[in-house]
Amino acid sequence: MSAPPEKIPQPTIERLSAYLQCVRLMRAQESATASSSEIARRTGINAAQLRKDLSYFGEFGTPGLGYDLRALEAHLSRIMGLDVERDVLLVGAGNLGRALSSYTGFGRRGFRIVAAFDVDEAKVGTAMGPVRVHHLRELAAVNAELGAEVGVVAVPASAAQVAVDALTAVGVRAILNFAPVTLAARPEITVRNVDLTSQMEILSYYLRST
């Protein structure tokens, strides 16, 4: 019931997050219920796709009526593992790291940045959002206490692999990487890349021929 019964397509997982966002918004707008086609319209995802995606995890709708948004939000949250608070280690105290540490969106979804690290002695000891910056060499000691399993890498490309190795060595199992490099990690580690340059290049492709 908590582990998915069959194999879930990876694109499905990525869409679940979009559905959840939509459901939260509709709830905030005082809707109690919605059909798959209403959610489809708002997310830009096909209605049959939505129903199939949900069907991998259970039957959450009522034929003739649609989905109860409160229940659907709860189901999606549980499916995504968002019913647990997650502690997050942030590596990199540059501009991006600072922006991330004061980004309230994470906290609102149960991700709490509990410590920050950098190798630049000038940054060590300074405050960053709600946390203090440690030297990266203290990572093991700090996380021995915290036991965080999520890491964010916001360092230059040349330092990213070191950061990943350090994080995985202290038990981190999921990493959000902002550095523009392909990282090596053991297969049981989940790494997601948020590469701004790459995104811009993809936009550029679609502007071609002008």
Q: Of 42-81, which residues contact a second copy (CB under 8 A)? A: 42-44, 79-81
64 in contact with DNA (CB under 7 A): yes
Q: Of 67-96, which residues contact DNA (CB under 7 A)? A: 67
42's contact among DNA, a second copy, none, with CB below 5 to 8 A by partner kind, is: a second copy
Q: Which CA distances in Å does 27 have to 33, 105, 193?
A: 9, 18, 30
51 in contact with DNA (CB under 7 A): yes
Strands 33-34 vs 150-153: parallel, antiparallel or unpaired: unpaired
Name the token pair of 189: 């580690």
Answer for the pair 26, 69: CB distance below 8 angstroms, yes or no.
Answer: yes
Q: Which of 47, 157, 162, 194 binds DNA (CB under 7 A)?
A: 47
Residues 20-49: x where in contact with a second copy by CB under 8 A, - otherwise, as a string: xxx--x----------------xxx-----
Strand order in the sheet with 61-62: 33-34, 66-68, 61-62
Name the token pair of 187: 């297969």
The least distance separating DNA from the CB of residue 167, rounded to whole angstroms, comes to 27
